């Protein structure tokens, strides 16, 4: 019985949030999605420097590898350490051996200079041959002018755009703003409140959507759907299980095969993973089995012909050292968050 799959793809990740676990509580309890951004994530990303980004990416890449995820489509933000940040992330993933598609999230939330610096980082990284997309935060933090700049940079460079789309009701007008702008190569994260089909792949992030209480977007209504974690690890088998039960909760007729097609669709975004081989602790690898089997582990991961994970763990890097150094950087990050 088959116990292998190609490498899995996390189609929407934020490696910078790998150090976030256990972070200081926000000054007050967030009352909604925009509050969560302002009180939690926009405090965290402003405190990041390149050293923290490096260990965060190493830890996130290691956890991906340990979950059988061999490619990460990352969406990065570090407003006080923009230049060079994508190189740091790409190098960290290369060290572990995990494939990564980088981007820097352009936004107007940090003023015109912040938006320019974000555009410049995408351009610098991509023109130097980096594997990536042009990143944008979300329509509700982008002026028409900045959104146009994102689209024209992506068109010039011949790549897609990776953007949050209608994750919460506050960004529901995104569909209208992106109509005519979006292309097939775009990665549209969330789409919970997206009111139309757009060219591109909608990335469903079940655990994150539940955590932020943004609602269920009925992803089955979209033509192309892949799965992501939105920064909560990179265990895509677990996201598959959640995607299935959420679909089932909305429609008792939903089958695991549906969520499995979303899991497999990651390979359309990073086709190189079809050359990777993950051996799982359970067989058969079958949607109906895996939907109801928890705790399935990747026992062996081969990327591009090289064994990167075996029974002793990651082969190229010292996983204990990464965890220890990442914990030190997390402590430093939390201190800095209290200061700013
Ligand atoms: Zn996200």
Question: In angstroms, what is the span from residue 288 Cα to ligand 1's centroid?
Answer: 29
Contacts of 114 (CB under 8 A, 6+ apart): 79, 82, 107, 108
Question: In angstroms, what is the span from residue 282 Cα to ligand 1's centroid?
Answer: 30
Other Cβ atoms within 10 Å of 111 Cβ, number: 11
Q: Any idea which residue has 């969560």 for tokens?
A: 36
**Cα distances (Å, whole numbers) of residue 166 to 10, 178, 281:** 19, 11, 37
C-alpha–C-alpha distance, residues 16 and 71, integer Å: 16
C-alpha–C-alpha distance, residues 16 and 232, integer Å: 10
Asked: is 4-339 a CATH 3.20.20.140 domain? The reply is yes
- Residue 113: DSSP 8-state: H
Coil/strand/helix, residue 202: strand
Question: In angstroms, what is the span from residue 228 Cα to ligand 1's centroid?
Answer: 9
Tell me the HSE value of 48 on the side-chain side, using a 13 A CA sphere: 31
Question: In angstroms, what is the span from residue 303 Cα to ligand 1's centroid?
Answer: 26
Question: In angstroms, what is the span from residue 305 Cα to ligand 1's centroid?
Answer: 31
Does the model's pTM come out above 0.95?
yes
- Look at residues 122, 67, 48, 17 and name the one whose alpha carbon lies nearest to residue 236: 67
Average pLDDT of adjacent 10-residue blocks, the chain of 340 residues: 95 97 89 88 93 98 98 98 98 98 97 97 98 98 97 98 97 97 98 98 98 96 97 98 98 97 98 98 97 97 97 97 98 92
Question: In angstroms, what is the span from residue 293 Cα to ligand 1's centroid?
Answer: 27
Question: In angstroms, what is the span from residue 142 Cα to ligand 1's centroid?
Answer: 15
Decide if 34 contacts 170 (C-beta within 8 A).
Answer: yes
DSSP-derived secondary structure for 32-65: SHHHHIIIIIHHHHHT--HHHHHHHHHHHHHHHH
pLDDT attached to residue 42? 87
**Cα distances (Å, whole numbers) of residue 197 to 166, 183, 184:** 12, 11, 11
Question: In angstroms, what is the span from residue 74 Cα to ligand 1's centroid?
Answer: 9
Question: In angstroms, what is the span from residue 32 Cα to ligand 1's centroid?
Answer: 16
Question: In angstroms, what is the span from residue 118 Cα to ligand 1's centroid?
Answer: 16
Question: In angstroms, what is the span from residue 183 Cα to ligand 1's centroid?
Answer: 19
Helix (H) or strand (E) holding 322: helix 319-339
Question: In angstroms, what is the span from residue 75 Cα to ligand 1's centroid?
Answer: 7
Coil/strand/helix, residue 305: coil
Decide if 81 contacts 282 (C-beta within 8 A).
Answer: no
C-alpha–C-alpha distance, residues 73 and 131, integer Å: 10
| Partner residues linked to 136 by β-bridges | 106, 163
Give residue 283's Cα distance to chain centre: 28
C-alpha–C-alpha distance, residues 316 and 306, integer Å: 10
Contacts of 29 (CB under 8 A, 6+ apart): none
Contacts of 175 (CB under 8 A, 6+ apart): 165, 166, 194, 195, 196, 198
C-alpha–C-alpha distance, residues 25 and 29, integer Å: 8
- Look at residues 74, 19, 78 and name the one whose alpha carbon lies nearest to residue 49: 78
DSSP3 helix / strand / coil % (the chain, rounded to 5): 45, 20, 35
Question: In angstroms, what is the span from residue 164 Cα to ligand 1's centroid?
Answer: 6
Question: In angstroms, what is the span from residue 260 Cα to ligand 1's centroid?
Answer: 21
Helix (H) or strand (E) holding 154: helix 144-157
Question: In angstroms, what is the span from residue 318 Cα to ligand 1's centroid?
Answer: 28
Question: In angstroms, what is the span from residue 189 Cα to ligand 1's centroid?
Answer: 7
Question: In angstroms, what is the span from residue 276 Cα to ligand 1's centroid?
Answer: 26
Give residue 29's Cα distance to chain centre: 25
Question: In angstroms, what is the span from residue 3 Cα to ligand 1's centroid?
Answer: 31
pLDDT attached to residue 49? 97
Cis-peptide, bond into residue 284, ω within 30° of zero: yes
φ and ψ of 308, to 5 deg: -105, -15
């Amino acid at each position: 019985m088959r116990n292998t799959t190609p490498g899995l793809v996390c189609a929407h990740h934020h490696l910078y949030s790998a150090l976030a676990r256990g972070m200081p509580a926000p000054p007050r309890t967030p009352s909604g999605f925009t509050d969560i951004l302002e009180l939690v994530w926009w405090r965290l990303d402003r405190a990041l420097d390149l050293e923290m980004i490096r260990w965060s990416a190493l830890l996130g890449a290691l956890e991906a590898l340990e979950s059988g995820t061999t490619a990460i489509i990352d969406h990065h933000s570090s407003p006080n350490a923009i230049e060079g940040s994508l190189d740091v992330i790409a190098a960290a993933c290369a060290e572990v051996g995990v494939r990564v598609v980088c981007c820097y999230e352009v936004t107007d939330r940090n003023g015109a200079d912040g938006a320019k610096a974000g555009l410049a980082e995408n351009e610098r990284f991509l023109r130097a041959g980096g594997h990536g997309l042009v990143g944008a935060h979300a329509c509700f933090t982008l002026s028409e002018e900045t959104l146009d700049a994102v689209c024209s940079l992506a068109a010039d460079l011949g790549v897609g755009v990776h953007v949050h789309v209608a994750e919460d009701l506050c960004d529901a007008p995104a569909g209208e703003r992106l109509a005519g702008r979006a292309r097939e190569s775009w990665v549209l994260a969330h789409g919970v409140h997206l009111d139309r089909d757009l060219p591109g792949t909608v990335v469903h992030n079940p655990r994150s959507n539940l955590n932020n209480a943004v609602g269920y977007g009925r992803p089955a209504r979209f033509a192309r759907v892949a799965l992501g974690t939105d920064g909560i690890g990179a265990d895509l088998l677990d996201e598959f299980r959640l995607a299935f039960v959420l679909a089932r909760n909305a429609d008792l007729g939903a089958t695991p095969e549906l969520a499995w097609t979303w899991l497999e669709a990651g390979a359309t975004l990073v086709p190189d993973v079809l050359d990777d081989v993950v051996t799982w602790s359970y067989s058969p690898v079958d949607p109906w089995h895996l939907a109801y089997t928890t705790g399935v582990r990747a026992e062996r991961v081969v990327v591009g012909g090289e064994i990167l994970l075996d029974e002793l763990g990651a082969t190229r890097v010292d996983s204990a050292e990464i965890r220890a150094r990442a914990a030190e950087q997390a402590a430093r990050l939390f201190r800095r968050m209290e200061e700013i």
